[in-house]
Amino acid sequence: MKGLGGFVAAFAGIVVLACAADAFADIRVARPQTPGGLPFRHVLLPEETHQTIAFAWRDGSAVTFAGREALVALAPTLMMEGTHTLPRSAMHEALRDFQATLELTGTTSLLRGRLTAPPARVTDAGKILANLLTDPALPQDRLRELRKSRAAASRQADENPETLARRLLMRLILGDGAYYRILTGEPGIYERIEVADIDAWRRNILGRDGLVLVAAGPLDAEKAGAEIDQIFAGLPATANPPVRPGRPPAPQANSWCWKGRLCKPRSRLPARRDSPSRPTLCAPMLP
């Protein structure tokens, strides 16, 4: 009976996955442009009660500016503190009244956000997002609190054997660099961020030319495009994102190195008569 039950459960799972695949196959993704010329992906879902506009910018700031790796963690959070005319508490109250949600988060590769609201409230919620992108308050006192709390949490985690082991493992794998400091939350990366850094980051990244946009919900492409233009019209036409550093040069074919780091000879084999040069085997120089 157990074997039969397992078979039935597995079969049911396959049926569910097949149905999900069929449902996804029925979704049609259009590629229109807004009246202002912004290309976006559009999915019409007439039965849905809320419209979502998702957006992103490619951003390599975290791995480009040494000592400023925490920009991707602190900048979006500080921007969500509200605008000069609509502080955080009032902003969240207005979003609740509109039955809308708004988020803004950063990673080592991109800045992404999402606005979701009933179709009749997308315009109102979109105005809040537009002001947030062009006129964030960036309060200094709140940044001090964020820096202090995140650095303290990172130092406290150092007392945990599990965290220490994980950080050491990351150090051995990644070496000393931006990715290591971001993934392990090194305290110093938070303490070095100032409001001027965040404001400069915002001006460098937020431009209409680098936008990646998706709209899904009951609004048709024309209406969704108009809402998108309203949200992002206040941004500059072009931005100045940092150029990500290139990858380290690949090791030569006759050597074995660790993540592009320098290697040291481990052994040399005498050259054979039919081979004037034997490959040099290298061992990684771990940090």
Is 204 found in the same domain as 285? Answer: no
| Pair 226, 264 in one domain | no
Q: Are residues 223 and 256 in the same domain?
A: no
- Decide if 30 is inside a domain: yes
**Residue 27 pLDDT:** 83
Percent above pLDDT 90 for the chain: 51
Any domain includes 264: yes
* 269 and 134 co-located in one domain: no
Contact 209, 36 (CB under 8 A): no
Six-digit token string for 186: 């090194």
What CATH number should be reported for the domain holding residue 82?
3.30.830.10
Same domain, yes or no: 134 and 270: no
Give residue-wise pLDDT tens across range 265-282: 444 434 444 444 433 333
Q: Is the pLDDT of residue 8 over 80?
A: no
Does residue 203 sit in the same domain as residue 125?
Answer: yes
Reported as a single tens digit per residue, the pLDDT across 83-115 is 999 999 999 999 999 999 999 998 878 899 999
Q: Count the Cβ atoms, other than its own, within 10 Å of residue 142.
A: 16
Alpha carbon separation from 201 to 45, 105, 129, 191, 285 (Å, rounded): 35, 14, 18, 17, 35
Residue 167 is predicted with a pLDDT of 73
The yes-or-no verdict on residue 284 having pLDDT over 50 is no
What CA–CA distance (Å, rounded) separates 79 from 198? 9
Please state which of the ranges 148-162, 202-216, 245-259 shows the lowest mean pLDDT: 245-259
For residues 68-91, give the mean pLDDT. 92
Range of the domain at 266: 250-287
Q: Is residue 227 part of a domain?
A: yes
Judge if 35 and 103 occupy the same domain: yes
> Do 80 and 213 sit in the same domain of this protein?
yes
The count of structural domains within the chain is: 2
| Total residue length of the chain | 287
End-to-end CA distance of the chain: 56
